[in-house]
Structure 1
Amino acid sequence: MIEIHNIHKTFNGNKVLDGISGNFESGKMNMLLGASGTGKSVLLKCIVGLVKPDIGSITYDGRIFANNKLDIKQEIRRKIGMLFQGSALFDSMTVNENVEFPLKMLTDMDRQERQERVEFCLKRVGLEKAGNKMPSELSGGMKKRVGIARAIAPHCTYLFCDEPNSGLDPLTAITIDELIKEITEEYNITTIVVTHDMNSVLEYGDNVMFLYKGKKLWEGHSSTIMDTHVKELNDFIFSNRLMRDAKKVEEIAEEERQEEGQRQEDDKNRNR
């Protein structure tokens, strides 16, 4: 579990994060939701240590991260996997070499152990035959899967995904979502996903935190997100016609259920 408490961050007098607190549980898809410029990526960078908060604390399974000793921070960092928005593969390296890179940097594995781990991770993401390909030979979805393989290669405990569906077609996006979900549950990883994709949120969001202008306005399970009374969240969710139509269908169905329940109750009363 990762816990954050009262996180504040200001850049050049601009308040980007304003007192954000929350818990991100292991084995679940924890999602940071919000429009562009709401502070999602900055919060993610604070959590992984790329940006230092002005105020606040971050703990990884009970261990303080930001202000701890260097060796403790390095130990935690070795357990962090990162899937970048653009996959961030090294163009001059093969797929095998890209996945092996963090193993060389972060582990004491010998060459044989690294090769076995690379083969395992590529097989896990369905790319066991792509090891000798260059990134330029891969589709967008394949690059994302290589990125996931590289992230989990060092046996990560914490996985951070920055807009994993960015630039993907709907079917490929679903495949990537399902893969991240499977890996999260299979290895009991604490996964945090930055997204503005409502399809991903509704289908896979075990815990969703909605940010608006640097503040946390709502947090909960995706099954309850369409029934909130938070105006800013509703404006975000129902900003397109499809979601508005889905909401109307849900409201009509609920009215019909209530009417049917009332009819059944009336029938019972008449038969007494």
Structure 2
Amino acid sequence: MIEIKNISKSFNDNHVLQDISGTFERGITNLIIGASGTGKSVLLKCIVGLVIPEAGEVLYDGRGFLKADKDEKAQMRREIGMLFQGGALFDSKNIEENVMFPLDLLTDMKKDEKLDRVNNVLSRVGLENINKKMPSEISGGQKKRVGIARAIVNDINYLFCDEPNSGLDPRTSLLIDELIQEITHELNVTTIMVTHDMNSVMGVGEYIMYLSKGKKVWEGNSDNILTSGQEDLEDFIFASKFMKKLRKTL
């Protein structure tokens, strides 16, 4: 579980995040949604320590992250897996080397142990026997799967996904969403996904935090988001022509 308490962040005179609090439970897919420029990615960066807020707390299963010392932060970071927006694979490394990278960086495992772990997670994401291929030789959807494998190759407790469906077609996006949700349930990790994709919201939104103009204005899940009664949220949801037609039927 991750708790955030009264997170605020400004860049010069731009108040990007204003007094945001919430709880992201373990074992479910937690989504942070909102239009572009609402602070979604900045909030995620505050949670993982890439951006330091002016005020607030971030608790990892009760452990204060922002005020932790160097060793405590290092331990918590070893429990984190990160899936970046573009996949962020190393072009000069093959798939096996890309997935093994966190093990090389953060563990003292022997080479054969690392290889076993790499093969296990690649198999879990449906990518057996591509170890020696280069990132340029696989599709966009496969790159995202490799990114997921790399994110979970350590024994993680927390999984962060920044726009995991960026650049993917709708069918592949759905498969990636389902894979992230399956892994979240199987590993019982705390997963936080930043997205603006309504297919993701409706498909895997077990907990949803909606941001608008740097503030949290609603929280709920995919079962009640369409009837939230929150005008700003409804404008966001029903922005597309298809969703506008759906709105008329509700």
Task: Please confirm whether the aligned pair reaches a TM-score higher than 0.5, indicating the same fold.
Answer: yes
Deviations 1:169-215 (A, max 9, x none): 01100110010000000000100000000111011100000000100
TM-score (norm 1): 0.91
**Alpha-carbon distance in structure 1 between the residues aligned to 2:246 and 2:29:** 23
Partner of 1:167: 167
**Alpha-carbon distance in structure 2 between the residues aligned to 1:220 and 1:10:** 26
Partner of 2:88: 88
Partner of 1:111: 111
**Local SS of the residue matching 1:223:** coil
Q: How does 1:2-151 map to 2 (within 5 A)?
A: 2-151=2-151
**Alpha-carbon distance in structure 2 between the residues aligned to 1:224 and 1:173:** 22
How many residue pairs were aligned? 250
**Local SS of the residue matching 1:222:** coil
**Local SS of the residue matching 1:165:** coil
Partner of 2:177: 177
Q: Percent of aligned pairs with the same residue? A: 60
CA RMSD of the aligned region, Å? 0.7
Partner of 1:158: 158
Displacement of 1:148 after TM fit? Answer: 0.2
**Alpha-carbon distance in structure 1 between the residues aligned to 2:241 and 2:26:** 35
> Is residue 201 of structure 1 aligned with residue 201 of structure 2?
yes
**Alpha-carbon distance in structure 2 between the residues aligned to 1:25 and 1:104:** 30
Q: What amino acid sits opposite 1:176 in the alignment?
A: I
Displacement of 1:69 after TM fit? Answer: 1.6
Displacement of 1:248 after TM fit? Answer: 2.2
Displacement of 1:3 after TM fit? Answer: 0.1
> Is residue 188 of structure 1 aligned with residue 188 of structure 2?
yes
**Local SS of the residue matching 2:224:** helix
**Local SS of the residue matching 2:21:** strand
Q: What amino acid sits opposite 1:57 in the alignment?
A: E
Displacement of 1:247 after TM fit? Answer: 2.3
| Structure with the largest fraction of helix | 1
Q: What amino acid sits opposite 2:165 in the alignment?
A: N
Q: What amino acid sits opposite 1:41 in the alignment?
A: S
**Alpha-carbon distance in structure 2 between the residues aligned to 1:205 and 1:106:** 31
Deviations 1:99-153 (A, max 9, x none): 0000010111110100000000100001112111000001100000000000000
Q: What amino acid sits opposite 2:5 in the alignment?
A: H
Structure 2: give runs of 5+ residues left out of the alignment: none
Q: How does 1:193-272 map to 2 (within 5 A)?
A: 193-249=193-249, 251=250
**Alpha-carbon distance in structure 2 between the residues aligned to 1:169 and 1:129:** 24
Q: What amino acid sits opposite 2:224 in the alignment?
A: T
Regions of 4+ moved over 6 Å: none
**Local SS of the residue matching 2:131:** coil
TM-score (norm 2): 0.99
